[in-house]
Amino acid sequence: MTAPGRATWLDAFLDAHADELVAFRRQIHAHPELSGEEVETSAAVAARLEVAGLEPRILPEGTGVLCDVGEHGSDTPVVALRADLDALAMTDDKDVHYASQVPGVAHACGHDVHTTIVLGAGLALAQRLGDEGVDGGARLVFESAEETVPGGALDAIAAGAVDGVSAIYGLHCDPKLDTGQLGTRVGPISSAADMVHIELTGPGGHTARPHKTVDMVAVASPSGARAPRGGPVAGN
């Protein structure tokens, strides 16, 4: 199929599935799950892929999904598409009918969108790869616990997420880009995660006698090592 032909087919696919995908995204947005707890989200993704005739695998931990599309073999290229499933521990303040129904949990980082996009891409690929006789396939990777350290990526890798993969693509919503614009980058981006525990101690004090205590805010700041003794105190 030529490039214009693929574009026409993709437009037709989206016209046929747009309402379903929007509804899917809103469903998981209304029922967010924290890192490592994405049981229902994983089940919903797997169930929709099964309807398309695919064979998704929920990871042994009970969260996270892997699903192969097209031909997979030792001599065939495989491209992986990766999304994340978990929500954040924060309140959803949107005034919409699909706002989070789980107190203190919300999809505020766009993972509901990422999941829906990769799901839609998988459904489209399931239709096209066989018809075009493409020598290769795709692997859908729905990662759990992306918001924690060390994170669910290790569970996905241990379950074979990148075995035999020639390339892997991830995506993320970016509020700095206007709707309809795409940004690309080769290599890692926004991939660093560290857990740091810092304990600060100092003498008790009072704001009326700043010269007799230590400003913990100043100590904790990047220039804290050079912070002078005394000065404003955060609290009593």
Interval 3-18: pLDDT, tens = 667 788 889 999 999 9
Q: Average the pLDDT over 17-31 and give the result.
A: 97
**Hey, what are 24's tokens?**
């899917």
**Measured between alpha carbons, how far is 151 from 191 in angstroms, rounded to an integer?**
11
What the chain holds in terms of domains, given with CATH numbers, is: 3-170 (3.40.630.10), 198-236 (no CATH)
For 66-109, what is each residue's pLDDT tens digit? 999 987 777 788 999 999 999 999 999 999 999 999 999 999 99
* pLDDT exceeds cutoff 60 at 232: no
> Is the pLDDT higher at 229 or at 207?
207
The band of 224, judged by pLDDT with boundaries at 50, 70 and 90, is low
| 223: confidence class by pLDDT, cuts 50, 70, 90 | low
Give the whole-angstrom CA distance, residue 201 versus residue 199. Answer: 7
Q: Where would I find the beta strands (DSSP E) of the chain?
A: 57-58, 65-70, 78-84, 137-143, 167-170
The 10s digit of each residue's pLDDT in 177-209 is 998 899 988 877 777 777 778 888 878 888 788
**pLDDT for the residue numbered 218:** 77
With a cut of 60, say whether residue 29 has pLDDT above it.
yes
Query: Tell me: the pLDDT tens digits for 119-157?
Result: 999 999 998 876 666 677 899 999 999 999 888 999 999
In this predicted structure, what is the pLDDT of residue 236? 39
Identify whether the C-beta of residue 45 lies closer than 8 Å to the C-beta of residue 119. yes
